[in-house]
Amino acid sequence: MKSNKGADVKTYVQDLKVGEVIETFFLLKKKELDKTKDNKPYLKLGFADKSGSIEGRMWNQAETADTQIDIGGVVMVRGTVTEYKGSSQIKVEEVRAASPEEYQQSDLIRCIENRDTLFEKVKSILRKNVSNQWISQLVMEFLKDEDLMNRFKKAPGARSWHNAYIGGLLEHTYEVMVVVEKVCELYPEANKDMALIGAFLHDVGKVFELDPQTFEYTHKGGLVGHLSLGFELLIEKIKNIDHFPEDIQLHLKHIILSHHGEYEQQSPVLPKTLEAIMVYHADELVSQTNAIKEIVQAQSYNERAWSNFVSIKNRKFFLKRIETTD
């Protein structure tokens, strides 16, 4: 069945209402064939567009549909929006692979539009603050790698929790750098050159950790992870600089490997320098703030006061803005 809406009409996840019958296009983020208690097959599906994501369940012809659609592809979905345990869900009647002329890619993948401008701001912070000759050379080794920087500008900041959109890594990195720059003004005892290049490079391994189309982990990302990938990139670039000082190299390696802050957060080492502490807490601040901002924006409908339960944080979040008056 072809959609009767055409590629120029898109029903977005953020606008879906319980009881609404839909026929629209989504990215297929999840597909899992399962069985009911009665041993009847059904499909667990995950859909997304640039406005958000939603789960789906297909109870009829699940096995056939499973062979016809692939994770990461665009699908046409026909069904009804229902509610399950406080969240919207689509009861899917039909799902099929979509052809390119039926949809607009810009409707499906959220993207930071001003990436070139944002990248110039990143470079401006580095130019303004980095004075050490060795760190300046290292910055240039990264900036002149056009393929790496193009990947850097396109990469998502995370798979789902924060800055999970094209350009999210660039946006997140810029915000971490801004915070670190301000903290260095408060604490001049810190080595600003070290802290800022650490902020610039702390997540650089994500350019190879996540697929920018599906946001799924690459083989490298799943098996090694972005801390190790960033560590390897740092070593690779340092090799291009003759006589690069061992102590600077050691401190930069430490910032990258410790920036998750805790062993429970898969950090192989705890931050043990002033600059590493700055990068870790700046990273934590802006990533968590971005994530909660997204939750508030996505779930503030029908005058709700509280979000759905967020298992990764073991809590619900208050959605209503607190208005203040003079």
This model's pTM is above 0.85: no
The pLDDT tens digits of the residues spanning 122-161 come to: 999 999 999 999 999 999 999 999 999 999 999 998 877 7
Quote the DSSP letter at residue 100.
Answer: G
pLDDT of residue 271: 97
Domains belonging to the chain, first-starting first, are 13-107 (2.40.50.140), 110-293 (1.10.3210)
pLDDT of residue 134: 98
Quick one: which H or E segment has residue 32?
Answer: strand 21-35
pLDDT of residue 175: 97
Quote the DSSP letter at residue 25.
Answer: E
DSSP-assigned beta bridge partners for residue 47: 28, 54
Q: Which residues of the chain have pLDDT under 50?
A: 1-8
The pLDDT tens digits of the residues spanning 70-100 come to: 887 899 999 999 998 878 899 999 999 999 8
Answer yes or no: are the C-beta atoms of 287 and 158 closer than 8 Å.
yes
Using DSSP's 3-state secondary structure scheme, residue 11 falls into: coil
Q: How many residues does the chain have?
A: 326
For 83, phi then psi, to 5°, come to -125, 135
Q: CB-based burial of residue 189 (10 Å sphere; 0-12 exposed, 13-18 middle, 19+ buried)? A: exposed
pLDDT of residue 325: 67
pLDDT of residue 6: 43
